[in-house]
């Protein structure tokens, strides 16, 4: 489990941080008395789930493990934790993912990731997963149960795909950011394209000169995050419209300012 397997590392991991390197308030003490008396993939000490939710999640995780071989486990805690005892209870190994939900660390979610999962989803994936679903705003809107279930669903989707570089799905706030960068890229391209010489329609030299900037804003920050997270074409179309709208607006503004100044200079 994790990138190290010696006992000292496990003690440190469960005391201070998960193998992913994300802080967690998990205790390093052995408290086997807190473990259930029957096999289950979910230990809900913090009562984050209703009885029906817990039963449904247990069945879902057991079915997923039987079909794929991936072992997903969930531990919710607040003031009490079984600590190191979960390792033997669940037989955690390189094909295991332990999700620990504990709100005391600021972010609800922490992940202990097996080596085999790291091979399919890199460290940046798990950091994005934690920050997207475990932040206080998401938990406030969707509840602790929703945050846990949504993060597990994202992991299952990626495992079924054979791995992911980024977390699937495009949250509204992330799309708004891509739209903003697309519009900004369009503004730069539009200003650059306005002709500075008589007889020009588009100043291609300036467009090419500033291309590293507007291509980065539109392509790297406006398009790439969308195509890597969703197959929905609407965000792409909207970002494209935003880029074109920004370019046209900037061209017209340049025409009304720079163009007028050039005309006055030529007349004088």
Q: What is the pTM of this model?
A: 0.72
Domains of the chain, first to last: 7-161 (3.10.310.50), 172-267 (no CATH)
Q: Is the pLDDT of residue 1 over 70?
A: no
More confidently predicted of 17 and 251: 251
More confidently predicted of 129 and 13: 129
pLDDT in tens, 108-156: 999 999 999 999 999 999 999 999 999 999 999 999 999 999 999 999 9
| Distances in whole angstroms, Cα of residue 163 to Cα of each of 61, 118, 142 | 18, 9, 26
pLDDT attached to residue 267: 54
> pLDDT-based confidence at 259, cuts 50/70/90?
low
Q: Report the distance separating Cα 117 and Cα 98, nearest Å.
A: 11
> What whole-number percentage of the chain has pLDDT above 70?
85
Sheet holding 109-113: strands in order across? 42-44, 71-76, 96-101, 109-113
pLDDT in tens, 192-225: 998 877 777 888 999 999 999 999 999 999 999 8
> pLDDT-based confidence at 189, cuts 50/70/90?
very high
Q: Is the pLDDT of residue 14 over 50?
A: no
Torsion of CA 237, 242, 245, 250, to 10 degrees: -150
Q: Report the distance separating Cα 32 and Cα 148, nearest Å.
A: 24
């Amino acid at each position: 489990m994790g990138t190290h397997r010696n006992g000292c590392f496990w003690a440190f991991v469960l005391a201070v941080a998960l193998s992913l390197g994300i802080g967690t308030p998990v205790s390093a003490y052995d408290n086997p008395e807190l473990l259930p008396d029957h096999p289950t993939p979910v230990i809900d000490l913090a009562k984050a789930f209703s009885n029906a939710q817990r039963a449904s999640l247990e069945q879902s995780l057991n079915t997923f493990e039987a079909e794929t071989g991936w072992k997903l486990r969930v531990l919710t805690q607040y003031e009490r934790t079984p600590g190191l005892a979960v390792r033997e209870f669940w037989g955690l190994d390189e094909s295991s993912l332990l999700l620990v939900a504990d709100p005391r660390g600021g972010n609800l979610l922490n992940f202990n990731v097996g080596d085999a999962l790291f091979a399919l989803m890199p460290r940046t994936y798990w950091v994005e997963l934690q920050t997207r679903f475990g932040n206080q705003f998401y938990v406030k809107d969707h509840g602790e149960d929703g945050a846990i279930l949504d993060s597990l669903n994202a992991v299952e989707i990626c495992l079924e795909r054979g791995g992911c570089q980024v977390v699937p799905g495009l949250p509204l706030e992330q799309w708004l950011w891509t739209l903003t960068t697309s519009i900004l890229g369009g503004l730069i391209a539009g200003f650059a394209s306005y002709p500075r010489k008589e007889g020009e329609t588009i100043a291609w030299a300036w467009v090419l000169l500033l291309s590293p900037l507007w291509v980065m804003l539109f392509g790297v920050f406006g398009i790439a995050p969308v195509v890597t997270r969703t197959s929905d074409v609407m965000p792409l179309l909207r970002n494209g419209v935003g880029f074109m709208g920004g370019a046209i607006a900037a061209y017209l503004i340049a025409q009304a300012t720079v163009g007028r100044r050039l005309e006055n200079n030529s007349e004088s």
